[in-house]
Amino acid sequence: MALRDITALPAWESLRAQHADLTGRHLRELFAADPGRAERMSLTAGDLYLDYSKHWVTAETVECLVRLAEEAGLRKRIDAMFNGDRVNLTEDRPALHVALRLPAGAELVVDGQDVVGDVHAVLRRMGDFTGRVRTKQWRGATGEPVATVVNIGIGGSDLGPAMAYEALRDYADAGIDVQFVSNVDPADLRNALAGLDPAATLFVISSKSFDTLETVANATAARKWLTNALGEAAVSRHFVAASTNVAKAERFGIDPANVFGIWSWAGGRLSFCGSVGLSLMTAIGAERFHELLNGFHTIDEHFRTAPFRQNMPVLMGLLGIWYTNFFDAQTRAILPYSRRLHRLPAYLQQLMMESNGKSVRGDGTPVRLNTGEVFWGEPGTNGQHAFFQLLHQGTRTIPADFIGFAEPYADLGNMHDLLFANMLAQVWTLAFGKSAEENSEEGVPAALVPHKVVPGNRPLSVILAPRLTPSTLGQLVALYEHVMFVQGALWDIDSFDQWGVELGKEKALDLLPALTSEASHAGHVDEVVRALVGVYRLLRGRASGPGEVPGVRAGSTAASCRGFGVR
């Protein structure tokens, strides 16, 4: 279902007028002209509170943005996703991640299949398996209980569970540590395995396809590490999988009874509510995991039913479009005031950028607007002492999302109050700044005044929740999932494919023989990478091969490459 080109809608025209009207107006002015603005420009969804009063909008702008979503047909698009229609056009399948957290009693039948029944059957198997691991009934080949779970996966099969495990460490109550290995750089696996006892280690191979180069390489190396210590027969007691590819997992040595299914309609970056969350469930237990799912479902229901004017993901998605397409903002800073959320920016990078980094519309025609915000960030207060200077006094427009919690997860004196005070101070300063007059009144020498002016007027959202719990984490992640959906829908792109990434994967496999083979002319090497292949082979002490570099002797060592600046 193609949406209408949003730039042709009447609301787009009104937004152009709003843009002209608001350009050059400062947040100080907007606040002065609109008493009660902060209270009015706020809303709640589940346990989340959003303050969007520090944005370059008036009530009228918000109405125009909401009208844009209505005129574009967003409601139909939301319904289509929740109903299981094939909204992933290029892969011709539904994007039904919301089904992963439907309660057991709900009904959803897609193509004659009882989706809720299937989802809960896997959740029950996960609960049973992780329960046995947690209570030490599951034993390794030598009879040892599991002390460490090593999750091997990449992209969505890593970032989701890794981010959530870090966020919910305080709920990890079974004394089981979880390590995450994703990168094909051998340093990653080596770090994770350092000091581990193979007899007490359980590997979860998390890969929807069981085919991803990095994951297969890490899993194979981990298998070798284990069998060197415990022998081949140990594999089925120390490896389990989250995958659709039962046959391949079985060939690896995993008992099919310990392969936990995923469905093609659950995109990798949207999958940790299902079996990709297995290692997380092992750490926090099935009950807490279900609290997480309920949190997701709370926001799913809010998104599905709330009028756009009071719909948090819709408003946040629209604000992203407002800055991207009218003010040419390129990036959005994610600033959690919680050390526990230190992997959230990385997680959101995949969610938002793999989903919405697209330049053609559903019908294959080029987009005519910028798409895909670049997400980045770090937890406060660390970010304050690193990149906030650019936010305060730099020349760019960088909308920011501040995320804070009222209750601490550790009560150490007044440290949590200090953390929250810092967040509010940044919100205040970014929004209001400090003028030349205010500096002069304080006696700042005239020559210094321009340097000490902090312009303020930086657009930002503040998202608050009572406490970081499994439920509030689920709510927060679901919020951003739906922000992504809103933007993808309005830009009319397919948010659920990733063809650029797929090409990179193919190319890596194509190039590998050129780096590793004994034969000097293996692989498909062309002008773009020929010299690099040659230098690599020389540094590895291999025959110069297809990437022969003029001036570099075949078979030479690193020393002969120094002329190329290679050390």
Ligand X SMILES: O=P(O)(O)OC[C@H]1O[C@](O)(CO)[C@@H](O)[C@@H]1O
The set of catalytic residues is 354, 385, 505
| Binding segment (CB under 6 A) for ligand X, from list 23-31, 38-46, 148-156, 547-555 | 148-156
DSSP 386-427: TTHHHHHHSSS---EEEEEESS-SS--TTHHHHHHHHHHHHH
215 touches ligand X (CB under 6 A)? yes
d(CA 311, CA 316): 9
The nearer residue to ligand X, 215 or 298, going by C-beta atoms, is 215
Residue 121 three-state SS? helix
Torsion angles phi and psi, residue 415, rounded to 5 = -60, -40
**Least gap, CB of 206 to ligand X (angstroms):** 7
**Least gap, CB of 162 to ligand X (angstroms):** 12
Task: Find the residue with minimal CB distance to ligand X.
Answer: 268
Judged by CB under 6 A, the residue of 269, 288, 297, 302 near ligand X is: 269
547 touches ligand X (CB under 6 A)? no
**Least gap, CB of 209 to ligand X (angstroms):** 3
Task: Tell me the chain's radius of gyration from C-alpha atoms.
Answer: 26
The nearer residue to ligand X, 201 or 498, going by C-beta atoms, is 498
**Least gap, CB of 159 to ligand X (angstroms):** 8
Judged by CB under 6 A, the residue of 156, 261, 379, 546 near ligand X is: 156
For the window 487-506, what string marks contact with ligand X as x by the rule CB under 6 A? Answer: -----------x--x-----
Sheet strands (E) in 270-344: 331-336
Assess contact for 303 and 296: CB atoms under 8 A.
Answer: no
207 touches ligand X (CB under 6 A)? yes
d(CA 324, CA 430): 19
Assess contact for 487 and 355: CB atoms under 8 A.
Answer: no
The nearer residue to ligand X, 51 or 354, going by C-beta atoms, is 354
Assess contact for 522 and 513: CB atoms under 8 A.
Answer: yes
What is the total count of residues that contact ligand X (CB under 6 A)?
14
Identify the helix (H) or strand (E) that includes residue 436. helix 436-441
Cα–Cα distances (Å) from 159 to 107, 387, 425, in that order, read: 30, 24, 31
97 touches ligand X (CB under 6 A)? no
- Restricted to residues 381-420, the positions that interact with ligand X (CB under 6 A) are none
With b meaning 16 or more CB within 10 Å and e meaning fewer, what string describes 541-559? Answer: ebebbbbbbeebeeeeeee
**Least gap, CB of 262 to ligand X (angstroms):** 8
268 touches ligand X (CB under 6 A)? yes
**Least gap, CB of 484 to ligand X (angstroms):** 13
**Dihedral angle computed from the Cα positions of residues 558, 560, 566 and 567, in that order, rounded to the nearest 10 degrees:** 50
- Restricted to residues 347-366, the positions that interact with ligand X (CB under 6 A) are 354
Judged by CB under 6 A, the residue of 42, 90, 148, 209 near ligand X is: 209
| Binding segment (CB under 6 A) for ligand X, from list 40-48, 208-216, 373-381, 531-539 | 208-216
Query: In 204-285, which residue ranges form alpha helices assigned H by DSSP?
Result: 213-230, 235-238, 246-252, 278-284
| Binding segment (CB under 6 A) for ligand X, from list 112-120, 201-209, 415-423, 433-441 | 201-209
Closest alpha carbon to 119 in 133, 137, 106, 128 = 106
161 touches ligand X (CB under 6 A)? no
The two structure tokens encoding residue 339: 């050390």
| Binding segment (CB under 6 A) for ligand X, from list 73-81, 202-210, 461-469, 482-490 | 202-210
**Least gap, CB of 474 to ligand X (angstroms):** 19
Site residues (vs ligand X, CB under 6 A)? 154-157, 207-209, 212, 215, 268-269, 354, 498, 501
